Amino acid sequence: MSEISFRPLTPITGAEVEGVVLDDDLQPAVVACLREALLRYKVLVFRDQPMDDARQVALTDAFGGATAAHPIANGLRETPAVLRTALSEDRPKLAEAESGLNPLSGAAPRRLRTEWHIDSTFVANPNAITILRGVEIPPAGGDTLFADLEALYAGLSPSLRGYLDTLQAIHSRHNPSPVPRFDGKSAGPFVALHPLVRVHPETGRRSLLVSSVFMQAIRGLKPRESTLLLDFLLDELAGRDEIHARVRWEKDTLVMWDNRSVAHAGPVDGLMFEEERIVHRTTVVGDLPCGPNGFVSRALVGGLFEAMA
Ligand SMILES: [Fe+2]
């Protein structure tokens, strides 16, 4: 095996990986090494990895099985496991949001404006791993932010952690795609009930399963109690810079993150530059999150986010 090395992005989260070529010759021993590293660093950044969509899907399969591109949105027709995101198509929505009274407006709290989230928590089994590849990248802007959800949990008082360990939250998405799915599956709505604290299925470490995008309320609390507690947790998520890592993109940069232990946000500055930014996403199928008290996530509306093969 070639010499693989990891250059940490911060003391706790993220690493740039050197000494690996993610091509057809990727050996199982290398995949195993990278999987171990992903559990340790949570975010792995690979530079100069030119590949086509088929290769990205094969890579995703090697890490545990590619899902369809998204539970709601269509993937590419030729490679349905790939979700293409072009900033030029999202900018009108961003610009409209900037001028209106909605979560993205300049007056909204930072916890909402930055849209910190875990991918697809509106399904009962969010993907375990997300893989994102830079296809067209601006000279500056469009960075992605990551937050270590295990550090977020560990930074709370033991008393509060003990209480959060017992709770569940409702996550939902009710805006089905206007375009029918190519694969004929339902495009939503989706509602899932998750533990507020999840136990990582491979490491056993606890993290907060929180998102400013899809998380609606904490089960069993009065609305104001739920809102205040979630606002506090999301303020911690968005405001504790010491648990954040920031990835700057280049064309052919590939970033792989453990969707079970980090939240992410971005691009947060899409209206501050004019160039195009295109990224292609694939996701590795995930299992049902489990809480410290044994509570297992379940779908309240809609199906699971399953592997394609
Ligand atoms: Fe995302």
Domain annotation for the chain: domains and CATH numbers: 5-301 (3.60.130.10)
Calculate how far, in angstroms, residue 295's C-alpha sits from the geometric centre of ligand 1.
25
Calculate how far, in angstroms, residue 238's C-alpha sits from the geometric centre of ligand 1.
15
Calculate how far, in angstroms, residue 135's C-alpha sits from the geometric centre of ligand 1.
17
Calculate how far, in angstroms, residue 1's C-alpha sits from the geometric centre of ligand 1.
32
Calculate how far, in angstroms, residue 26's C-alpha sits from the geometric centre of ligand 1.
26
Calculate how far, in angstroms, residue 204's C-alpha sits from the geometric centre of ligand 1.
24
Calculate how far, in angstroms, residue 213's C-alpha sits from the geometric centre of ligand 1.
10
* CA 94 from centroid of its chain's CA atoms: 20
- Report how far residue 302's alpha carbon sits from residue 305's, in angstroms, rounded to the nearest whole number: 10
Q: Is this structure's pTM higher than 0.85?
A: yes
Calculate how far, in angstroms, residue 119's C-alpha sits from the geometric centre of ligand 1.
5
CB 63 within 8 A of CB 129: yes
- Report how far residue 59's alpha carbon sits from residue 25's, in angstroms, rounded to the nearest whole number: 11
Calculate how far, in angstroms, residue 223's C-alpha sits from the geometric centre of ligand 1.
27
Q: For tokens 């409209």, name the residue.
A: 96
- Burial (CB count within 10 angstroms: exposed 0-12, middle 13-18, buried 19+), residue 142: buried
Per residue of the chain (309 residues), what is the pLDDT tens digit?
569 999 999 999 999 999 999 998 899 999 999 999 999 999 999 999 999 999 999 999 999 999 999 999 999 999 999 999 999 998 888 777 766 545 555 566 666 667 899 999 999 999 999 999 999 999 999 999 999 999 999 999 999 999 999 999 999 998 766 778 888 888 889 999 999 999 999 999 999 999 999 999 999 999 999 999 999 999 999 999 999 999 999 999 999 999 999 999 988 898 899 999 999 999 999 999 999 999 999 999 999 999 986
Calculate how far, in angstroms, residue 74's C-alpha sits from the geometric centre of ligand 1.
15
